[in-house]
Amino acid sequence: MADRYHHGNLRQALVDEALKLIEAKGPAGFTLSEAARAAGVTPAAVYRHFEGREDLIAECAVQGHRIFTAAMENAFADGQPSPLSAFEAVGRAYLAFAKAHTGHYIAMFESGLSRHATPGLAVAADRSAAVLERAAAKLSETIPPERRPPASIFSAHVWAMSHGVVELFARGAPGANAPFSPEDLLEAGIGIYLRGLGLLPPDA
């Protein structure tokens, strides 16, 4: 089979095809040979750029984390009138990313890869997590220090809620027929959580 791609863009072509396969079949549902065939190259050509299938999926995740970080940073810094509105905007950006970049999202969070699978993945994952931690730290500044949860715990709780909403509504899951939108469901969950921390009055 003649390679369709020049050496300079084959790596990205393989990533793009892998993302389609991940979305269609799941991270464990395709082979490296399928990715190569979809990109129009021989399986041997893949090894010029990736050590194996997990390495290819890791690169999909790295690129996803970069897009994810930029989206959340834009939401956090987009002229929000208060830390609360900024925090809610970050949550909405999370849901929007999962919907618009499903293949990336699956590679990042559902592939079973450790965030330390490659040095680049560890760095990219840490950067995206740091955005949510900054938003959590800013929002919790009004809580007395002795009662203030660590930003890493605070952000992890919100990440868990966000991830749960994505899973509930993703790919024809049961939540797809729920009477609530994913955005409304996440906002309500965050509101309950923030009230528990004393960051919102009971009637807010």
| Residue 202, domain member (yes or no) | no
List, for residues 127-136, the tens digit of each pLDDT value. 999 988 988 8
d(C-alpha 159, C-alpha 48), whole Å? 36
Note whether 60 and 30 are same-domain residues. Answer: no
Note whether 81 and 31 are same-domain residues. Answer: no
Q: List the structure tokens of 60.
A: 């999909």
Task: Examine the fold and report which residue of 50, 70, 85 is the final residue of a domain before the chain moves on.
Answer: 50
Note whether 26 and 84 are same-domain residues. Answer: no
Q: What angle do CA 31, 53, 99 make, to 5 degrees?
A: 85
Task: Examine the fold and report which residue of 30, 50, 70 is the final residue of a domain before the chain moves on.
Answer: 50
Q: Which domain does 131 fall in, by range?
A: 53-196
List, for residues 183-192, the tens digit of each pLDDT value. 888 888 888 8
d(C-alpha 16, C-alpha 48), whole Å? 16
| Residue 82, domain member (yes or no) | yes
Note whether 58 and 46 are same-domain residues. Answer: no
Note whether 189 and 92 are same-domain residues. Answer: yes
Q: What is the CATH number of the domain that holds 139?
A: 1.10.357.10
- The predicted pLDDT at position 82 comes to 76
Number of domains in the chain: 2
Note whether 23 and 120 are same-domain residues. Answer: no
Least Cα distance to 37 among 45, 29, 49 occurs for 45
d(C-alpha 103, C-alpha 19), whole Å? 5
- Which has more confidence, 38 or 115? 38
Read off the pLDDT of each residue in 117-135 and give the average, rounded to a whole number.
Answer: 91
List, for residues 3-33, the tens digit of each pLDDT value. 454 545 889 999 999 999 999 999 999 999 9
d(C-alpha 3, C-alpha 148), whole Å? 57
The DSSP code for 177 is G
Note whether 35 and 86 are same-domain residues. Answer: no
| Residue 6, domain member (yes or no) | yes
DSSP per-residue string spanning 72-131: HHHHHHS--SSHHHHHHHHHHHHHHHHHH-HHHHHHHHTS---TTSSHHHHHHHHHHHHH
- The average confidence (pLDDT) of the chain is 85
pTM of the predicted structure, to 2 decimals: 0.85
Note whether 150 and 130 are same-domain residues. Answer: yes
